[in-house]
Amino acid sequence: MKTTVDIVLLPFSILIVMAGVLGNALFIIVVRKHRSMYTTTNFLLTNVAVSDIISLVFWVPGTVLRFFEHPSGSLGSFLCKFVTMHHIAGISLLVSGLTLTLISAERYNALVQPMHLHLKLEKRRVVISICIIWGFAIGFVLPLFIEQSYVDEVQNCHMDWKSSASRVYWALLAAIVGISLSIMTFCYFRIVKALYFENILPPNCSRSEQDIKDKQKIITILITVTVLFFVFFLPFTIVSAINISTESKLYELSYFLVYVSCCVNPVVYIFQSAKYRAGLKDLWKGRAAPRTQRSLES
């Protein structure tokens, strides 16, 4: 059922969905149209863009349904599993977080430990890594699909498991978020130290001042994207871990912030990457970018 918070947030939700789907779709198109952008980092950022689009698209029917009386019976249970409780979006959001973690590890290996070739993410390994991330995310969220149903007694969606199991599940999610944050903090700390304070670059890279600046810009973009994602995602993780009611205003606001994170990445790319802006201009003018051009990774 709709609440005052739903009504207030509705116009903002519409803007977020439109801007997020358009912005992420443009990023995917720009990468696809420019072969010079076929890089490990861009492929992984494209996976983030795809997952963000899925999150936003599946947020729409769940939000709309709150303005109507929820069906009961088998249809009600189906909607609880796939629409009302946003479990599909939960999969894609988990994919975004894990992909950003992988990006930090990949950049750390490429810039700080380039001699560890067995850890290098080549095209085949990137595809395998993306498949593993999606498989893990689907497996982690699967219990929610299985246990969620519509209960006539409470006239709402209900998770048919013990409170202890619920606490363990959400604690595991909080642990995943914590581990991911720890990995990214370590990787980006070492990268920033190497690039900004020690001027260390891999042996196969140019030691010119411009090359160092390019690497620094890339890391700035990646850190910004990562920090924004977790800043918006952390409140929802906290309220879920302490088992706050899904009908509370705090829960609704925290969930709204999660979806805000799905539309900010394209804005970051536009403001912080001149080469990505050039790619958008080339797309607007209907021409391919120069083959030597790099957008987010050189």
Strand partners, 156: 151
Strand partners, 157: 150
- Work out the pLDDT band at 295, boundaries 50, 70, 90: very low
Does the pLDDT value for residue 108 go beyond 50? yes
**Structural domain contains residue 296:** no
Q: What is the pLDDT of residue 229?
A: 87
**Structural domain contains residue 293:** no
Cα separation, 49 vs 46, in Å, equals 5
**Structural domain contains residue 14:** yes
Count of structural domains within the chain: 1
Q: Whole-number mean pLDDT of the chain?
A: 81
Does the pLDDT value for residue 141 go beyond 90? yes
Other CB atoms within a 10 A radius of the CB of residue 59 amount to 24
What's the 3-state SS for 119-144? HCCCHHHHHHHHHHHHHHHHHHHHHH
Does the pLDDT value for residue 292 go beyond 70? no
pTM reported for the whole predicted model: 0.84
Does the pLDDT value for residue 125 go beyond 80? yes
Does the pLDDT value for residue 49 go beyond 50? yes
**Structural domain contains residue 85:** yes
Residue-wise pLDDT for 50-102, tens only, equals 999 999 998 888 888 877 888 888 898 888 888 888 889 889 989 999 999 99
Q: What is the CATH number of the domain that holds 61?
A: 1.20.1070.10
Residue-wise pLDDT for 159-184, tens only, equals 877 777 878 888 888 889 889 989 99
Range of the domain at 29: 4-285
**Structural domain contains residue 291:** no
Most confident of 5-19, 93-107, 250-264, 275-289: 93-107
**Structural domain contains residue 259:** yes
CB < 8 Å & 24+ apart, contacts of 160-166: 163/243, 166/243
Strand partners, 149: 158
**Structural domain contains residue 297:** no
- Work out the pLDDT band at 209, boundaries 50, 70, 90: low
Query: 42 phi and psi, to 5 degrees?
Result: -65, -35
Over its C-alpha atoms, the chain yields an Rg (Å, rounded) of 21
